[in-house]
Structure 1
Amino acid sequence: MKTNLFVQDDNGLVQEAIGRFVVERVAFVPLESYESAVYAWELEGRKFILKLTRKSRRTREQLMGEIDFVQFVASHGVSVARPIVARSGQYVENIGGSMDGMVDGEGSGGSAGYWAYAFEWAEGERVGPGHYGSKLYKVWGIAMGRLHSLAELYAPKQPEWIRPRWEESELLPTLDVCALSSFPELRSAAETWMSKVRRIPEHKGEFGLIHNDMHPRNFHWTEEGIVMFDFDGLTHHHYASDIAVALYYGLAEHSRASENSWSPEQFLHYFLEGYSVCRTVSAELQRHIPDWMMFRHIQLYMLYFRSWGERPAGITERWTLSRYRKDIIGGTLFGKKPEDLA
């Protein structure tokens, strides 16, 4: 359901962006993406990733916060796709607009053009059905636990590089879109869930910087463990939300299969076993995992609503929105009660 931001006519813009990082003219391939446009290119046997994100969506400082954190965890032994420096010596390049110009007609009122930044290609292979099992779940949990532990030691090199809190990056946009819904029951149910998560206390050791999208499409598998990438969602948030996202996407993936032996209880058992290698797993943290799973469910509905409209023409899109509405109104996740999944 993800698409690239750009179309074929923008090849020149993408080539310009890649040219900020390499002298040679190279071929590039668009990759699956949504919030940003992502492209891969290869040079002298090495692969790289280019990301283009609208200035109306991110500031240069926020992107530098992402890059700074990735460098920090990499320096502490975490396997991640490392950022690369542009030919100018900068990590983030201005493409297709002035540094401070405003967009004419942009609803967000952000700056014109895009920011371009790049990373090394993540080593390893994409995670598929054959990888699912206790070994992956435990390694996945260990990686997240290490990330959360390092987040507590991290401070951005520049104070303006601080990443946003979850309320401004997730709650407020979701509330804004929710208010546009023409389904009163949906609006009421979503607002009830969002009010619930807003009241979750921020206990020490259970709140900090999180990846916020650490599912199998954002890491690769190697014999040594997993290599993480795409820290675009890096946010000050509840650690339980990061765990919930991992469980949520496992549930979403397996809910589409007519026959499978995947068990959310089994997943969480091995995942938390791995996570506990690095951090204490409190009862309070576990208690809120279902709440954050439901919140991600609402977020995805609002994202699709924003992309397709509330009554899209396509059958698949209409079915998807209808399924999510039914879940949100009924307080279920893919037909199951959240509290029965964690």
Structure 2
Amino acid sequence: MNRQIQDLFEDSVLTEAARRYGVAAAALKSLGGFESFVYEYEKAGRLYILKITHTSRRSPDYILGELDWLNHLADRGVSAARAVPSQAGRLVEQIPAKDGASHWLAISYVKAPGHLIGADDWHDDTFRKWGKQVGKMHALTQQYQVPDPKFKRIEWDESEEYDLDLYLPESEVLFKEKAARVMVRAEALPRESDGYGLVHFDVHHGNFHIQNGEIMLFDFDDCQYSYFMYDIAICLYNTLWFPKVPVADRTAFACRYLEAFMCGYEEENHLDLKWFAHLHDFLRLRHIDLYSVFHRSWDLNNLEPWQADVMARIKREIEEELPVMGIDFAKLIE
């Protein structure tokens, strides 16, 4: 999280946010958070999530674009933790920040039942159900119309993470040059409704819970217009970088995961095989995205060993134009 945003946060903000959702601040349980402050609370015997973010990250209208799409999906069969209104009936509550110029934004959601995926859940049936939920989202988004133009989410290449001059130092000349080539190739791809639309954009295994073998998605904060294959690439990327079970052969695991995932996906939505020829570039785009995020969010002078290793690996693979995975994805899916 941006350190300037952290410095603006104070206890009175939390107290007021809790009040607006009808609970006491003392009853909130902190769950941490990467780019927002996230809490859990109980009300009338049911568990909810309270998220507090800053207007330097999101505007109220932009968040309403997320929440309208989320509830649209939940109403039509996607297993997703829907947004709930405040005591005043608002989906987004605005609380003045101490700088007098900005606001904190409080949003609440039903807490997804179950638990984060663990080693016992790390198998093909889970991967298939994971793909099934993503496929259902992609099918439904093809008919979705934003109710108000003010709520429209960004296109993927409008994200500030791809403005590499914003966070990367001038010395990163080669990285920026090679990243730009990937961006150009991706931006040239067709943006038609059968392969492009509003997507979750962060369906990694930290963003769903599992209960009795069934999954429920949450954290739609990054939803934006992008390629369906990029959304799928993000799922694959995170299973490879942060697996719940140690992987001796990353290539074999990637093949197994993707086959199971796409079996579930195809139950709900068909994606033309031509898109798999671009999967390598979408994995590279995730590299580029995270490299920018890490420069923005981490203290680069005091990195943990694992953080330094991650950044070094991303830098090398982008600068040397190496594939994130040495697999012919199109042939695999065929």
Q: TM-score range by the shorter chain?
A: 0.7 to 0.9
Whether the 8 Å CA contact 1:28–1:39 is kept in 2: the answer is: yes
Residue among 117, 140, 144 paired with 1:150: 140
TM-score (norm 1): 0.86
CA distance in structure 2 between the partners assigned to 1:69 and 1:34 by the alignment:
22
Kept in 1, the 8 Å contact 2:131–2:264? The answer is yes
What residue number does 1:239 align with?
A: 228
Q: What residue is the counterpart of 1:107 in the other structure?
A: none
| Structure 1 residues 1-342: aligned runs within 5 Å | 6=6, 10-97=10-97, 112-169=102-159, 172-174=162-164, 176-178=166-168, 180-223=169-212, 225-254=214-243, 257=246, 259=248, 263-308=253-298, 311-312=301-302, 314-332=304-322, 336-337=325-326
> For structure 1, which runs of at least 5 residues remain unmatched after alignment?
105-110
Gaps of at least 5 residues in structure 2 are none
User: In the superposition, relative to structure 1, how do residues 167 and 315 fare at CA in structure 2: closer, same or farther (>3 Å)?
Assistant: same
Q: 1:174-230: CA deviations, max 9, x gaps?
A: 46334x341322222222222222222223300001000001111111236211111
Given that 1:26 and 1:41 are in contact with CA atoms closer than 8 Å, whether structure 2 keeps it comes out as no
Q: Distance in 2 between matches of 1:175 and 1:264?
A: 33
Q: Is the 8 A contact 1:151 1:210 kept in 2?
A: yes
Q: Using the alignment, how far apart are the partners of 1:134 and 1:258 within structure 2?
A: 14
- Encode CA deviations 1:121-179: one digit per residue, 9 max, x unaligned: 1112211122111101111111001001111121222232121111212564346334x
CA distance in 1, matches of 2:302, 2:26: 38
In structure 1, what residue type is equivalent to 2:16? E
Cα RMSD after superposing both structures: 2.9
Report the CA distance shift for 1:233/1:174 in structure 2 as closer, same or farther (over 3 A).
farther
Q: Which has the higher contact order (CA 8 A, sep 6+)?
A: 2
Give 4+ residue runs of structure 1 displaced > 6 Å after superposition.
none
Alpha carbons of 1:140 and 1:267: their partners in 2 closer, same or farther (altered >3 Å)?
A: same
Partner Cα separation in structure 2 for residue 121 and residue 72 of structure 1: 17
Q: Report if aligned partners of 1:254, 1:260 keep a CA contact under 8 Å in 2.
A: no
Cα gap change, 1:128/1:175 in structure 2, threshold over 3 Å: closer, same or farther?
farther
> More deviation in 190-199 or 50-59?
190-199
CA 153–313 in structure 1, closer or farther in 2 if over 3 Å, else same? closer
Q: How many residues align?
A: 329
Mapped to 2, the partners of 1:22 and 1:155 lie a distance apart of 32
Partners of 1:97 and 1:9 in 2: CA distance: 8
**CA separation of 1:42 and 1:204: change in aligned 2, threshold 3 A:** closer
- TM-score, normalised with respect to structure 2: 0.88
Deviations for 1:226-246, whole angstroms, at most 9, x for unmatched residues? Answer: 111110011011100100000
The separation in 1 between residues aligned to 2:268 and 2:303, in whole angstroms, is: 48
Q: Deviations over 1:309-334 (max 9, x none)?
A: 55545544333322221222122366
8 A contact 2:203–2:231 mirrored in 1: yes
Where 1:62 maps in the other structure, the secondary structure is helix
Looking at structure 2, the residues matched to 147 and 314 of structure 1 have their Cα atoms a distance apart, in angstroms, of 36
CA contact (8 A) 2:122 2:245 kept: no
